[in-house]
Homo-oligomer: A and B are copies of this chain.
Amino acid sequence: MARRETAAGPGSRALVVDLIRSSGPISRVELTEATGLTQPSISNIVRRLIDDGVVRETGATIATGGKPRTLLTINSRAVFGIGIQLGVENAVCIATDTTGGVFGRQLLDGAGSGEPQQVIERLARDYRGFLAGLGIDETRVAGLSIVTPGPIDLQRGLVIGPPSMQRWVDFPLRDALAELVSVPVLVDNDSAASALGEFWSRQISRDATYACIYMGSGIGAGIVAGGALYRGASSNPAELGHISIDAAGIECFCGNRGCLERYAAPPAVVAAARAHAALSRELGLDADTERSFDSIARAAVQGHPAALELVEASAGQLAVATLSLANLFDIDRMTLAGWGFAIAGSIYARAIRNALDQRAFARRAHSVTVELSSNPRDTAAVGAAALILQSSLAPGHGPSMIRSH
């Protein structure tokens, strides 16, 4: 890899915050060495971070023979980021502190088929109740981030798909929600948020070329390369679910044919299981896709032959597509996240590891580490909150936020 560029530009503040967060207590001298920035630059940045309440001195010092070095740490409860992952059936709301640690969690109703304006009015009420329950005053909230499946319009802060959220197309989600709360609001892609959240919380090296495979009602991926989220032309990259695995296959809502997620994502697996009346009854499948997929996944893990066959077929298809993704992005580290991996994640991880070990194009140059998220159902919401903290700690970076008050 080329040497990382470092200079006292707008990215420096984010870099310094990132180093303080990931290193534990650290001195200004060590920051100078780690960043390549000059000592006056580091002093300036640190002074402003302390003034803003983001960083504090621990009180401890290191004796060096010369002037003792004061240690710096993140002021974890200075501000909170709130992330909401909005799905059709469910939504998850998460509060994280500035270290990226989860401070509170609540399960909410999803978007359903209601009017978007009514749904966000409910979400705004839920958000206020969530803060009240945690005892967080809204003045300490850096922002509210709402993430959904793509495609999204990052600049305008709205959802332009998928069909399960057709009513939301062109609804000004970010701006309408900003009218209802007293903090800045941003809208982003659930896979991108997951990647950022996992990257932070797992303290993945900035040298890694990292993919977070996100499987919920659809399949997506977020990529972090050189320490930065890969955004592409319109913040709609890495649509893994829309790799065609069969050029003559079934039509997808996206306009393409034979898209992976039409065969391998939980709704397809559940539909295949429902087609067998006996299996459907035995596993107690109902109208809720997530709950039904959980039942199939649980049976598969316990060795139920029909359920295992369905999950293994899904895992095999996902593995082939993930191998293509790895060959295109030259990935060396990967996490599986999202509710689709919550129960049968190990079956998916095994299929993906096998495919990568035996067939990855660059396997003679490097291996690919595949891990399961430790918190797969919440990843996107945690990442959404991380996006808020990233924007508020390093203004000018990441998606734009609207503050209406």
A binding-site residues for B, Cβ under 8 Å: 1-3, 5-12, 36, 150-151, 153, 160-161, 208-209, 221, 225, 230-240, 242-245, 247, 254-257, 316-317, 320, 323-325, 327-332, 358-366, 396-398
- A sample of 11 cross-chain residue pairs with beta-carbon separation below 8 angstroms, ordered by A number, consists of A2-B398, A151-B361, A208-B233, A209-B233, A225-B231, A233-B330, A236-B361, A237-B329, A238-B328, A242-B324, A254-B361
Taking the nearest CB of chain B, how far is it from the CB of A331, in angstroms?
6
Taking the nearest CB of chain B, how far is it from the CB of A390, in angstroms?
11
With a cutoff of 8 Å between Cβ atoms, the chain B residues found around residue A2 in the complex are 231, 396-398
| Inter-chain contact B151/A324, CB cutoff 8 Å | no
With a cutoff of 8 Å between Cβ atoms, the chain B residues found around residue A359 in the complex are 254-257
With A239-B327, A242-B327, A328-B329 known as contacts, the answer to whether A360 contacts B233 (CB < 8 A) is no
SS of A interface (majority):
loop
With a cutoff of 8 Å between Cβ atoms, the chain B residues found around residue A150 in the complex are 361-362
With A151-B362, A328-B237 known as contacts, the answer to whether A1 contacts B231 (CB < 8 A) is yes
With a cutoff of 8 Å between Cβ atoms, the chain B residues found around residue A243 in the complex are 243, 324, 327-328
| Inter-chain contact B255/A330, CB cutoff 8 Å | no
Copies of this chain: 2
With A3-B10, A160-B364, A244-B324 known as contacts, the answer to whether A209 contacts B236 (CB < 8 A) is no
With a cutoff of 8 Å between Cβ atoms, the chain B residues found around residue A327 in the complex are 239, 242-243, 256
9 A-B pairs besides A7-B12, A245-B247 with CB distance below 8 A are A2-B396, A3-B397, A7-B7, A8-B8, A225-B232, A233-B362, A234-B332, A238-B330, A324-B324
Closest to A235 in B: B330
| Inter-chain contact B234/A365, CB cutoff 8 Å | yes
With A244-B320, A317-B247, A364-B160 known as contacts, the answer to whether A330 contacts B231 (CB < 8 A) is yes
| Inter-chain contact A256/B364, CB cutoff 8 Å | no
| Inter-chain contact B160/A234, CB cutoff 8 Å | no
- From B5, B225, B365, A10 is in contact (CB under 8 Å) with B5
Closest to A12 in B: B7
| Inter-chain contact A364/B151, CB cutoff 8 Å | yes
| Inter-chain contact B320/A247, CB cutoff 8 Å | yes
Taking the nearest CB of chain B, how far is it from the CB of A5, in angstroms?
5
Assembled-state Cα–Cα distance A396/B328 (Å): 26
| Inter-chain contact B328/A233, CB cutoff 8 Å | no
Taking the nearest CB of chain B, how far is it from the CB of A352, in angstroms?
14
Assembled-state Cα–Cα distance A235/B332 (Å): 11
Taking the nearest CB of chain B, how far is it from the CB of A358, in angstroms?
6
| Inter-chain contact A9/B10, CB cutoff 8 Å | no
| Inter-chain contact B330/A362, CB cutoff 8 Å | no
Closest to A396 in B: B3
With a cutoff of 8 Å between Cβ atoms, the chain B residues found around residue A244 in the complex are 245, 320, 323-324
Assembled-state Cα–Cα distance A364/B151 (Å): 9
With A327-B243, A329-B237 known as contacts, the answer to whether A151 contacts B396 (CB < 8 A) is no
With a cutoff of 8 Å between Cβ atoms, the chain B residues found around residue A366 in the complex are 233-234
With a cutoff of 8 Å between Cβ atoms, the chain B residues found around residue A231 in the complex are 1-2, 225, 330
Closest to A41 in B: B7
Assembled-state Cα–Cα distance A2/B160 (Å): 20
Assembled-state Cα–Cα distance A293/B55 (Å): 63
Closest 8 CB pairs of A and B: A232-B330, A7-B9, A7-B7, A233-B332, A237-B330, A209-B233, A234-B365, A236-B362
Taking the nearest CB of chain B, how far is it from the CB of A144, in angstroms?
20
| Inter-chain contact B328/A239, CB cutoff 8 Å | yes
Assembled-state Cα–Cα distance A255/B240 (Å): 21
With a cutoff of 8 Å between Cβ atoms, the chain B residues found around residue A255 in the complex are 358-361, 363
